[in-house]
């Protein structure tokens, strides 16, 4: 990211903040939230707003905004990449850089469950609202729905996700729900990625809201995905999670999971933006090739 482009973003935010809304109005929206082949390749960058800055062995990888924007622009420029998932600050930086024409944009909604916090399961909606998503002309909103059966605060998060799903469906915007069965172990909130737990989360997430017409699921590629995805008819994108020690194994898992008819694509962040060899183009192109 050249210094002058970063400085231009900062000057615009200071002296012409209305230019962000103008850029959102000018953005060329895609004809569909998926590509011409019916598949989605979405780059995720909503981790910083939850205080999750680590990527692989780099504990503060995502803390450098210029570097992150550079990696995002590189990823979005690659053939086959259909969109981005991010919080408003990153979406607006990308709008000012002119990087979102023709791309589907999903606003990240609940970032209040800060990574490592004692209240992490209480995942408040501190990011995009449905009204903000509609006003900015975004294609949809994404919400994290972690379900800890031993923590009563889960009920409030689940209810908030249901309300957001209702409002997004009513607005004919995609409601992307990312469910996990979670539990605390040694004081740390961990997601259960076993096939049975992921299947249970799928069944629960599929049923929230008064309509699922515009609802997608965002799921990890775990073992036995054929049976996991058999639990729903909802369109599903696969997430990437942390940078894998064996990226080839991750690609193989994604490829296997993508054989299911309702697995429509990938929504991956750190694995593509911060690959072990730092070759963002190659990582993105490999992921696109799986589609």
The span from the CA of 108 to the CA of 85, in Å, is 7
pLDDT tens across the length of the chain (291 residues)? 788 999 999 999 999 999 999 999 999 999 999 999 999 999 999 999 999 999 988 999 999 999 999 999 999 999 999 999 999 999 999 999 999 999 999 999 999 999 999 999 999 999 999 999 999 999 999 999 999 999 999 999 999 999 999 999 999 999 999 999 999 999 999 999 999 999 999 999 999 999 999 999 999 999 999 999 999 999 999 998 666 667 888 899 999 999 999 999 999 999 999 999 999 999 999 999 999
Residue carrying the six token digits 């969109």? 83
Return the biggest CA–CA distance within the chain.
54
pTM here is: 0.96
CA-CA-CA-CA dihedral for 129, 131, 137, 142, to nearest 10: 30
DSSP-derived pairing of the beta strands 174-185 and 215-220: parallel
Look at residue 212 in the predicted model and tell me its pLDDT.
98
Which of these, 215, 197, 214, lies nearest to 206 by C-alpha position?
Answer: 215
At residue 219's C-alpha, the angle toward residues 77 and 43, to 5°, is: 10
Is the torsion defined by CA of 84, 90, 91, 97 positive or negative? Answer: negative
Q: What is the distance, to the nearest Å, from the Cα of residue 28 to the centroid of all Cα atoms in its chain?
A: 21
Which of these, 102, 91, 94, 105, lies nearest to 141 by C-alpha position?
Answer: 105
Which of these, 252, 170, 149, 267, lies nearest to 217 by C-alpha position?
Answer: 267
Look at residue 245 in the predicted model and tell me its pLDDT.
67
Residue carrying the six token digits 């944009």? 105
Q: What is the distance, to the nearest Å, from the Cα of residue 105 to the centroid of all Cα atoms in its chain?
A: 10
Which of these, 192, 199, 208, 195, lies nearest to 150 by C-alpha position?
Answer: 192
State the total domains in the chain: 1
Q: Which residues pair with 64 in a beta bridge?
A: none
Is the torsion defined by CA of 86, 90, 91, 97 positive or negative? Answer: negative
162 neighbors 147 (Cβ within 8 angstroms) = no
Domain range spanning residue 130?
3-289
What is the CATH number for 12?
Answer: 3.20.20.70
Which two tokens mark 95?
Answer: 């709008």
Look at residue 82 in the predicted model and tell me its pLDDT.
98
């Amino acid at each position: 990211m050249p210094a002058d482009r970063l400085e231009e973003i900062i000057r615009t935010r200071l002296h012409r903040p209305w230019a962000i809304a103008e850029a959102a109005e000018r953005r060329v929206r895609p004809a569909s939230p998926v590509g011409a082949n019916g598949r989605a390749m979405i780059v995720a960058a909503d981790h910083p707003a939850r205080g999750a800055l680590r990527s692989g062995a780099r504990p503060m990888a995502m803390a450098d905004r210029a570097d992150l924007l550079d990696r995002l622009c590189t990823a979005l420029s690659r053939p086959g990449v259909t969109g981005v998932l991010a919080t408003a600050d990153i979406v607006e930086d990308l709008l000012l850089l002119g990087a979102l024409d023709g791309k589907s944009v999903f606003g990240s909604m609940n970032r209040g469950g800060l990574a490592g916090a004692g209240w992490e399961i209480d995942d408040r909606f501190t990011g995009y609202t449905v009204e903000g998503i509609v006003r900015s002309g975004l294609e949809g909103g994404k919400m994290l729905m972690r379900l800890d059966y031993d923590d009563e605060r889960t009920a409030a998060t689940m209810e908030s996700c249901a309300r957001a799903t209702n409002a997004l469906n009513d607005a004919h915007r995609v409601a992307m729900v990312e469910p996990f069965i979670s539990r605390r172990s040694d004081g740390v909130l961990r997601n259960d990625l076993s096939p049975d737990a992921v299947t249970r989360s799928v069944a629960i997430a599929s049923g929230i809201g008064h309509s699922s017409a515009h609802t997608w699921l965002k799921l990890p590629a775990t073992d036995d995905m054929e049976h996991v995805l058999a639990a729903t008819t909802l369109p599903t994108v696969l997430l990437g999670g942390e940078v894998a020690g064996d990226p080839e194994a991750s690609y193989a898992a994604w490829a296997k999971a993508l054989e299911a008819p309702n697995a429509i694509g990938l929504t991956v962040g750190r694995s593509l933006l911060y690959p072990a060899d730092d070759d963002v183009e190659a990582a993105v192109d490999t992921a696109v090739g799986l589609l």
